[in-house]
A and B are shown apart, each in its own frame.
Chain A
Amino acid sequence: MKKTVNQKAWFLVLPVLLLVGFSAVIPLMTVVNYSIQDTFGNNQFFPAGLEWFEEILHSERIHDALGRQVLFTGIIMAIEIPLGIFIALNMPKGGVWASVCLVLVALPLLVPWNVVGTIWQIFGRTDIGLLGYTLASMGIDYNYTQDILSAWITLIIMDVWHWTSLVVLLCYAGLQSIPSAYYQAAKIDQASRWNVFRYIELPKMMGVLLIASLLRFMDSFMIYTEPMVVTGGGPGNATTFLSIDLVKMAIGQFDLGPAAAFSLIYFLVILLVSWAFFTIMTNIDKQEK
């Protein structure tokens, strides 16, 4: 195809550049700005070099928060992805019940983050919450405000309740796109249920599973609202994930420099992991072809 060269065409890109500039680049640059300066107040700043970055990278507090974050993301993904696939496999393929199931499954996704937090905060309370009260009256030692394990379990169950639906919907869409001839061929070949899953359903779902995993990774790695409402990061620091810690540092302690350096590193970690994840998965896909 022959291309016409017209340098004026750059003007057509200008609106987008301006928009991206105002929405992303300029706000980000203010963060960069804070991360390399120090202040003693009165709005007077002086350069601090990479000091904040070094401090953050060596901070035990951040390491701990990162560890908790990785653990949390790991656990919820290990539950949500297989559970989502399992539910999608068992949903009706057509008819009225398929629609009913879809609506029911999609419901948690429609609840705002802080409402989800509030629901579980109250649900888990031992004095007035249905779950907490029931468990307590059964003699189970459950109290998410004091017991670390209870707090973690509550947060994990909450996240699974809130977000497994996303995985289910994506997998369901992937499954629906498999032509019925594949299932017929499997019957003819006398393939077992496991083999049907392993060799037909799973390969055909890989694309959507990749998207689902990526979304769940990013969202859970940045989780803030729900644990903030339920546990506020406690008991102690037991559920202080990266975002919660960042907000504490930036707004609670008003350590703008370290907080800015922290958020940049945080951002780069998410970007890097997502990129690596995506590249590896698409490469596996290509190799198979």
Chain B
Amino acid sequence: MARITLSDLAHSYVQNPKNEKDYALRTLNHEWEDGAAYALLGPSGCGKSTLLNIISGILTPSHGRILFDDKDVTFEETTDRNIAQVFQFPVVYDTMTVQQNLEFPLKNRGMDAKYISQRVSSIARSIKVEDIMHKKAQGLTADQKQKISLGRGMVREDVNAILFDEPLTVIDPHMKWELRTQLKALHKELKHTMIFVTHDQTEALTFADKVVVMNVGEVVQIGTPQELFEKPAHTFVGYFIGSPGMNILEAEVHGNHALIGEHTLKLEHTYKALKGKVELGIRPEFMTLCEEGRGIKIEIERIEDVAHHKIVRARYNNANVNIIVDEDTIITDTMTNMTFDMTRVNIYENSWLVEGEKI
């Protein structure tokens, strides 16, 4: 187990990168705390796999350094980094039994036979594969195989970090949930540093203590699931996380007043003069649909009934507005206005969050 430090790390697949666009991963400084569970979240092609491959040693970064504790491992081979990785699809040794699969990394490191059998049976108990220990790995289901590749990583006690590269892609939906819960439990039990790459926000938010949100080669926010939800640092985080995502409305902000369309809202904070594109962001969860006469009038397009609530899809001032309404609320024809929970409003300048001063 180790603290992983990324220092001025950047990577480009192009030989001589000329501008920012040539970088798959833009300059990044970050410290992954020892024993924490992280999720790397972002859309396809945002650079999250590049980052993971740099940590695991498959790629050598074109700039910067990577440290495990205080040891520089930038140019070290995967073999020497003592990390474990679980891949997108299950990687097991087909001709070996489950038992042999789990023993393999320890045997290769020349461990003592007694220690191996003890360690393997304890891991087998943790990942719940005791009943299939003597089966050939070839005949197992995808989720069992994925558990074994996970087990092969965890069987080494001193492993620096366990990296997951979208490991639930090939798993059936009902097994996904179970595996994720097990993973979480294993993390609590064994306290390995875990980095989990995914493009699925539910996966990221349920698994991780801290989520790193990436977009076009750049880390846009690192925070707890709650922080990402309440205070998205960038409008991208706002609408990438949440279902539906945050409502982003064009605004003019003067001091503690925001003008959206023809309506002026009184803000909870006061802001200095803002330049460039100014937007107001509010989560659908923090809005209410109300009767005419209060709030701001919107054009409702349709109402969707999803499991535990209703989503009102509407338009205001040439922008989409979504509002989440309780499933028992009866929406009448006269409910055509929206109001905001002003304590939950965020202001963005050129897509980045601006903190105002408390009045």
Contacts and interface: CB of A to CB of B under 8 A. Distances in A.
B105 A289 contact: no
A3 B279 CA distance: 64
Given A203-B94, A288-B139, A184 B108 contact: no
Nearest to A195: B108
Interface in A163-210: 179, 181-182, 184-185, 187-192, 195, 199-200, 203-204
B340 interface: no
Interface in A56-107: none
A288 B138 contact: yes
A185 B91 contact: yes
Contacts of B91: 179, 181-182, 184-185
Nearest to B159: A188
A200 B149 CA distance: 14
Interface stretch (B80-88, B177-185, B196-204): B80-88
Interface in A236-260: none
Interface string B88-103: 1101011110000000
Given A185-B85, A190-B108, A191-B108, A199 B96 contact: yes
B114 to A, nearest CB: 20
B104 interface: yes
B79 A187 contact: yes
Given A184-B56, A199-B95, A190 B79 contact: yes
Interface string B135-152: 010110000000001001
A284 to B, nearest CB: 11
B139 A289 contact: yes
A185 B136 contact: no
Interface residues of B, number: 26
Given A187-B79, A188-B79, A181 B88 contact: yes
Given A200-B93, A289-B136, 8 more contacts: A179-B89, A181-B87, A184-B58, A188-B56, A189-B108, A189-B152, A190-B105, A288-B139
Nearest to B104: A189
B152 A288 contact: no
B71 interface: no
Contact of B104 (A187, A191, A203): A191
7 contacts: A187-B79, A188-B85, A189-B105, A190-B108, A192-B108, A199-B95, A288-B138
A195 B79 CA distance: 14
Interface string B38-71: 0000000000000000001010000000000000
B77 interface: yes
B144 to A, nearest CB: 14
Contacts of B96: 199
Contacts of A204: 94
B152 to A, nearest CB: 6
Nearest to B137: A288
A184 B95 contact: no
